[in-house]
A and B are shown apart, each in its own frame.
Chain A
Amino acid sequence: MRGIDELDHYEMLEVPRGASPGEIDRAYRMAQETWAEGSLALYSIFEKRDASEIRARLDEAYRVLADPELRASYDQSHRATEPLAIGPTPTATIAPAAPDAAAAGRAINGAARTLPSIDESARVARAAEAAVTRVFEEDTERYDGRDDDAGGEYDGPRLRRTRLFRGYEIDQIADVTKVSGSHLRNIEDENFADLPADVYVRGFVTAYARTIGLDPVLVVPSYMTRLQESRQKNSRSRFLGLR
């Protein structure tokens, strides 16, 4: 298998070498939609930078292949240096798929021509919907760590266990959440006395939970109940003690 940076122009557009200009047009249009900003197929996996790199490479591939002269000289210069083996059979992983894409282009062609602005608004609507649902759905189901996702009460030790199980370090969480490591450690150790006011802790725990892939909706109320109960108990005993 090869990385995106190792794919040639044909492989980028997922068309066979002998593709007709029409096929190349269709494949490019299809790819443009797939890799467009806000594309549903890219949801959740892409960092902006990655997608724009791929878009740039697609544009370049199309620029060359759509121009008969450029394509001819590209074919010329690439024929000699063809199989540059990385894995055992480099082209094999890409090649079988190519006809798919071509046929996809064909299949969709009729539809694509008649898909104008409605799509655009649908995409905007989807992006909006995505923003809303993401808050609730984000990272709730990850890897094997779901073993510990099962509901019930979330206390400090359980948060810590989940974090370790999923392979996160405190420092990493601090980097992502901008919450100091000592606060995070106090949350795990339930050093409630050393933590700031409830409203801050709520924010910290939300960020922590989200970072390690737990659903804040499950974690935060449960944790905050523990914190508040402990604080009430302490303030009562301090009050009694002073007397």
Chain B
Amino acid sequence: MISSTHPAGDSYDATRSVARGPRLLAVGGGKGGVGKTFVTANLAAALARAGKRVVVVDVDLEGANLHTCLGVASPQKTLADFVAEREDDLGKLLIDTPLANLKLIAATHGNLADAQPSHLRRVRLLRGLRQLDADFVLLDLGAGAHASVLDYFLVSDDGILVVQPEPTSVENTYTFLRAAFYRRMRLAMVGHGVRQLVTVAMDQRNERGIKSPLDLLREIEATDTAEAHRFVETMRVFRPRLIVNAVRTAEDVKLGFAVASVCRKYFGIETEYLGYVNYDDEARRSVSMRRPIVDLRSDADVSIYLQRIARKLMELSPAQASVQGPAPTHTPAPTPPPAPAPLAPGISRG
């Protein structure tokens, strides 16, 4: 099911789309307005320009605007049709975008009352996404740490968090990570008692004094070694990716490393810093021009950063095992040397 070594690059994607369907990427970040949609649209465009067949899906049912970023005017067929069970074939919802290789499944601000799919519908949606004929499927998640948002994040091969260098965004990133992590763990645990324990631990002020995943592991080890083993295995494949958006200074660039370090030491969670995107007025203009900046001006600084992140994604093997799949027994392949080194153009030095 999950092989232990992946050849990087094209051949890998080719085997993948035949064997397992597309690679599923979820872009979230807890807070609204941190540039999730902007990043999603541009990563998708960058991947498409690199010759990958890409589908972007707007699962932000309450704040849908991915179609606008991609220059698709008010779509006729949307995900709402699938949610409301008017359409069962996701393939029929695919809309062409102005970019070659890039298709969209849009969402619209329809009737909010029936916007949230039922659990069963969500499962079918995820299954449908895996069957799409593409190399990459990117999900643009809504804001918040709502259960449905977390599930999209958790079942994806790569969960990507967009963070902005500001306290509110950092706070929501940790909130999201915590919520996602504990939800993942609750799904991974088998015994009722241990699941209860995970639920208790989710509350930061729980009476058992469990403050971190590590504390929780200690508690589990004391009761059930098999569960503890599962916990450690699950923890190892839980590898969220991080993108820092709207970077203005060198200090901002370092935020990604700092957050990764805090996650590692405090939560025991390994995160991968994919890279950063600088703050750019031109990027804002690209939104009003309804075209991804990487397509509009591929040589702009922002575009260079975004393309670099896209390249890195293509090189990396998927981070997370799917929730439904069996717990993989391999250690994730050591990741290639890390994020963006040189302070590239457009970032001031402080």
Contact = CB atoms under 8 A, between A and B. Distances in A.
A108 B146 contact: no
A122 B335 contact: no
Nearest to A92: B331
Interface residues of B, number: 68
> Most A CB atoms within 10 A — which of B145, B147, B251?
B251
A129 B254 contact: no
Nearest to B182: A143
A41 B255 CA distance: 6
A75 interface: no
A115 B260 contact: no
A interface secondary structure, majority: helix
Interface stretch (A93-101, A179-187, A223-231): A93-101
Contact of B266 (A46, A116, A126): A46
B258 interface: yes
A166 B203 contact: yes
Given A88-B229, A143-B145, A146-B144, A43 B171 contact: yes
Contact of B217 (A1, A39, A44, A97): A1
Contacts of B236: 92-93
B266 A122 contact: no
Contacts of A46: 266
Contacts of A122: 249, 251
Given A40-B170, A88-B232, A115 B341 contact: no
Contacts of A103: 337-339, 341
Interface stretch (A26-34, A195-203, A235-243): A26-34
Contact of A44 (B174, B250, B349): B174
B250 A115 contact: yes
Interface stretch (A17-25, A63-71, A133-141, A153-161): A133-141
B264 interface: yes
A44 B257 contact: no
A89 interface: yes
A104 B343 CA distance: 11
A33 B254 contact: yes
A130 B250 contact: no
B285 interface: no
Contact of B179 (A31, A45, A144): A144
Interface residues of A, number: 62
A168 interface: yes
Nearest to B165: A40
Contacts of B182: 143
B340 A107 contact: yes
Contacts of B168: 133, 137
A81 B304 CA distance: 47
Which 4 A-B pairs rank lowest in CB-CB distance, beginning with the nearest? Answer: A41-B258, A111-B250, A44-B171, A107-B341
Interface of B: 30-31, 143-147, 150, 165-168, 170-172, 174-176, 178-179, 182-183, 199-200, 202-203, 205-207, 213-214, 217, 229, 232-233, 235-236, 249-251, 253-255, 257-262, 264-266, 268, 270, 273, 331-332, 334-335, 337-343, 349-350
Interface of A: 1-4, 7, 14, 30-31, 33-34, 39-46, 50, 54, 87-89, 92-94, 96-97, 99-101, 103-104, 106-108, 110-112, 114-116, 118-119, 122, 126, 129-130, 133-134, 137, 141-144, 146-147, 166-168, 172, 176
Given A104-B338, A168-B203, 15 more contacts: A4-B266, A40-B258, A87-B232, A88-B232, A97-B264, A97-B270, A100-B337, A103-B339, A107-B343, A112-B250, A116-B350, A142-B179, A143-B202, A168-B205, A172-B205
